[in-house]
Structure 1
Amino acid sequence: MMLDLSPLRASRGFQLLYAARAASFLAFGVLGVAVSLQMYVLTSSSLQVALLNAAVAGPMALALIVGGWLADRYDRRAVMVWSRAAHLLTILILMANAALAEPLVWPIYAAAVVGGSTFGFGMPAIMAATPALVGREHLSGAAALTAVAAQVGAIAGPFLAGAITAGAGLVACYGFVAVISGITPIVLAFLPSLPPLAEPSAGIKVSALAADEAGFMGGLRYIARSPLVLSLLLIDLVALVLAVPYVLLPELATHGLGEGPDSIGLLYAAPSVGALFGALGSGRAGVSPFAGRWLVACVAVWACACIALGFSDGMVPALICLAALGGAASLAGILRAALIQRATPDAMLGRVSSLWVLEEAIGPALGGMQAGTTAHLASARIAMVAGGGLCLAITAAIAALTPALGRASLAPEAKALPGSVDMAAVDVR
């Protein structure tokens, strides 16, 4: 059950990619806190902080679509290197503004636009590069390792941001991020050339139309023709919209649990801790011949944890529920990443990845609106119970209507298993 380290042992290319991504996760963790803190200090407005997040999300959504197309047309190494190098402009803008005697607000918004755009241009290429570097037999292990790096960055980044800012100031904090971000494109430049394959790889059997789709909409058309990939994305979206109760935690802490404001930090940290342990314990689940069923089970646990959180009557039960939710969500994400990357031909992987990342960005925002509206009309507890219950029901319906999901396998010997299906042989016509 322990973390699968074989992708790091099997591929020097993945070692480089993983080092670059781990550095980026840490840099993003520090940068997000530092920028939000500076914006609030300058404006004393939480609305401005929210608008700053929107300034990142809008350009990022557009850049993801273009970035997916670029990743399927050009050398993915070049796309990664240039996008990560361009991201340094974001840090330079923030450093220059923070060094002014009276920092301004508009350069922070400008940096947010640049940061969102450069992230969107490069992320599909980064995700599409993984199968070529580790082979499709190590995809789940690679996803688990990436999840660990992401959670470590999410936990360590805010602490580093607070410590550096308090001790040396914002300019030093941005300088720390600039150093880490500057290392990333240098490391990525040592990767081998990663052009998208003109023909489906790893024995993938797809229709000529799906393999040769061109343009920005090719990814959408491919997903619509692939029941497995479509069901994986739908289940993810359902869970993100209905069973992510984080916006309700302040109300739960103060009114539902009768705790003080100091307890909110513990509630927010619990899912990340659970997610970290979920990734560390992913082990054999990622090579299971029943990976699709495990994924459905993880989302079911995720939904049940959300329901249980709505009924929790103490701090300890609430923390356990949130940790279970984070762990189940982490395992589901690892399995989903491996299944999507194994089921998608290399020629389409950039565009499919861009749409997947876009869903991951939009889903929590829609989920926050849904949960907040339901809590306003009823209560936070009802919002959690109703959202979790609806997520459970819709997930069961998707699993029942998509036989390919139940048969989905990540086992190397999947073709020899009775009743199973190799994701590399899915017919999407």
Structure 2
Amino acid sequence: MGLSRALLDVTPLRTSPDYRRLWIGGLLSGLGGQMAVVAVLYQVWESTRSPIWTGAAGLAQALPIITFGLFAGALVDRVDRRRFYLITKIGQAVCAALLTVQAFTGGSAPLVLCLVAVQSLFVAGGGPASRTFLSRLLPAEQLGAGLALNRISFQTAMLIGPALGGLVISGVGVAGCFLIHTLTFAVALWTAILLPPMPPSSSPGLTGVLAGLRFLGANRAVRGALLTDLAATVLAMPISLFPVINADRFGGDPRTLGLFLTAIAVGGVVASALSGTFTGAQRPGAVMLGGALTWGVALALFGVAPTAWAGLALLAVAGAADTVSVVARSTVVQRHTPDAFLGRAAAAEQIVGQAGPDVGNLRGGLVAAGSSAAVALVSGGLLCVAAVAVIAARTPELRRPDIR
């Protein structure tokens, strides 16, 4: 394979103006959203000095998505998806503006978390809606490339957004950070307005949460893709173990701790940059399974890494494997889901992506408390490998070539 074919395929950005505008809007609102995460944590901490309140900030963001995600996905499949997405973006922009106002006027921590929770309600609907757009905006052969571009947009926001947020807060305060957050949502709102109409393709008999759950249970490829992601995140999520591993094995240097998170992100960015090597694969299910297995093995080895540099290299491998697995998983879900169910399948993806890491971090912390962080990492990585192997053996649909 030539170098040009191995690199990130930007064809969707060149050929589809609607996708290009949507991608730019998503990148900017993602950067603004990550800056706002830092601003929320900073303001809540400064006003309460309580780790319980800062922990509640994450809960305020996650609970609405987990609780209402499937209901929002069912609604996405019943209405014009562009119009619904536009409504959710308006809601997020209004919440961002209210966060700005409260920051200028010295709002309280409960008010901040309330606004975060309301904004997350709109995210619960906007996320599934946006995931359905690719099959309407791009031809089937560009679907994998579009998903990889979305992934690198997400990773860029994760890499740059928090650092920008810290710089802005140190310079002009949290209100300035929230103001930028609001402006980026205004751009995302503009891109939503310019999208073409996307009327629902479902009939009344295909609507509803229960119908969506039945579909997810009956479609073996989609079910296997979601279970693979759960196996990787619930069994082998390492983030909560980083401080303990850093203290026990690498002297507790905060610079090393920061590099752990950066290494995962760097690995993901590199994988996205070279995504041409896998986005056109005829067996995206097999690619997904291989990525999940590599994630588990890399994290198990990280648990016994002899040096910090070896650990960072393994985390970079894990980050790259995670990106490969996530892009391939989304490709499987998109290709195996009828348009009438795409909103509900996208909502299930969003819930799995939100809840899996949270539960996985909790699992890792509980195991480490009863043994050690190394045991938690090694056992989690090996359990992930075993679970993914079982899913692969029991789901032949994931190993077969896709028929387009």
Identify which range, 250-259 or 355-364, moves more after superposition.
250-259
Report the CA distance between 1:379 and its aligned residue: 0.3
User: Could you tell me how far apart the structure 2 residues matched to 1:13 and 1:99 are?
Assistant: 36
The question of 1:113 aligning with 2:117 is answered yes
Whether the 8 Å CA contact 1:253–1:260 is kept in 2: the answer is: yes
The question of 1:58 aligning with 2:63 is answered yes
TM-score, normalised via structure 1 length:
0.90
Q: Residue in 1 aligned with 2:82?
A: 77
Q: Residue in 2 aligned with 1:94?
A: 99
User: Could you tell me how far apart the structure 1 residues matched to 2:276 and 2:303 are?
Assistant: 31
SS in structure 1 of the partner of residue 132 of structure 2: helix
User: Could you tell me how far apart the structure 2 residues matched to 1:63 and 1:31 are?
Assistant: 22
Q: Which of 193, 197, 203 is equivalent to 1:193?
A: 197
User: Could you tell me how far apart the structure 1 residues matched to 2:80 and 2:279 are?
Assistant: 29
Identity between Structure 1 and Structure 2 (%): 29
Report the CA distance between 1:93 and its aligned residue: 2.2
SS in structure 2 of the partner of residue 324 of structure 1: helix
Report the CA distance between 1:213 and its aligned residue: 2.5
Q: Which of 357, 381, 387 is equivalent to 1:394?
A: 387
User: Could you tell me how far apart the structure 1 residues matched to 2:211 and 2:249 are?
Assistant: 47
Letter in 2 for 1:19: I
The question of 1:155 aligning with 2:169 is answered no
Once the two structures are superposed, the pairs formed by residues 26-425 of structure 1 within 5 Å of their partners are 26-100=31-105, 102-198=106-202, 212-409=205-402, 422=403
Whether the 8 Å CA contact 1:81–1:186 is kept in 2: the answer is: no
Moved over 3 A (4+): none
The question of 1:17 aligning with 2:34 is answered no
Cα shift readout 1:177-205 (whole Å, capped 9, x = no counterpart): 11111111111110111112248xxxxxx
**Runs of 5+ unmatched residues, structure 2:** 1-5
TM-score, normalised via structure 2 length:
0.96
Identify which range, 322-331 or 258-267, moves more after superposition.
258-267
User: Could you tell me how far apart the structure 2 residues matched to 1:51 and 1:357 are?
Assistant: 20
CA RMSD across the alignment: 1.4
Whether the 8 Å CA contact 2:84–2:126 is kept in 1: the answer is: yes
Report the CA distance between 1:257 and its aligned residue: 2.1
Report the CA distance between 1:40 and its aligned residue: 0.8
Letter in 2 for 1:115: Q
Letter in 2 for 1:247: S
Q: Residue in 1 aligned with 2:3?
A: none
**Runs of 5+ unmatched residues, structure 1:** 200-210, 410-421, 425-429
